[in-house]
Structure 1
């Protein structure tokens, strides 16, 4: 029998199987299996999204400067960045959709910042802005930067600046977004009241 840890696919499948066993055990004790599964999916997708966001900002951008200086950037821009961006943009969408599912019937109240949904609503708005930045600004400009779409040198310079600022904006917004999203559905919970 092959060790599941020998491949990323095997590792993920083993993690999902273990999670299903735990979820089944919790569901049989009266917990809501559906909401638990949606919350889990929201968290796992969010970890992938924000983890890649932080990777791009804290690791890849500075590393590319050094790699460009010594002529080794091609491997990152040809192989690493496109794959990381694939996971990044789909994790962003999956996180947002799972978050919307978690809000359920409270979706409108949250986005209208009504009642006890102000904190989660603010977090939802920040996440929505971040999602737009990923799909509307970062991804189209990265395609130009990485040569996936034709662009002049001047267009690439502009695309680098737009993608960088959108990514840095998302990093900035992620900090209060994570604070709001991890502190429950009400501002009272956020303040510990």
Structure 2
């Protein structure tokens, strides 16, 4: 007797779901998707910050005009910002809005960058990164404040080379670029000691090597502050140089403590191996 029942065909099994690895590793495609997501969120935060920067652009322009007014009062000459073409005023406000937007939104886009880098970091690397950001941000802001402090002196000094009975008609766009570069340069200079500490923690630079170059470092700091402040204003030069020198020796002190801790750890490991 032949059975009329049809043979049951086995159903295709669904492929098992792949769980993300426990060690935090991701595929290249997942990395690209994560990067696109983080960049999109960072761009949104910058755009929102630019709206705030556009609202504050009037106050920023008023602050930028103060050194020009001081120049006119001190040198007794006509001095004013000049907008060279029809769209230059709008372009300058847009540039100010972008700069303020990047600064205002920096906590958010820095967090996005941090969140993207964290899965690929080891525990010790995460600690180094957190310490670097925690120290670099306040120092950078302090350096920018110091740059803003010496800005009026720079404007008066550089325009003082013009002949008497002349008019200082300063391009607004060029002037803003000058201010931005000066403030950023001094802000970055204040962060350089943090890089020395980071190189020491990474085992690239020792505290002895940092202290050995203290004469060159002080000479470089003196030359930098002499360029950033007028020669006649020695007080401003010292007010800018003293914190930079202290930061340099502070970095050397932290590096020395780390070298001592590292030496004790190596000595303990060697004593255990000798037993």
Please, what TM-score do these two structures have when normalized by structure 1? 0.38
Q: Higher helix share goes to which structure?
A: 1
Larger Rg: 2
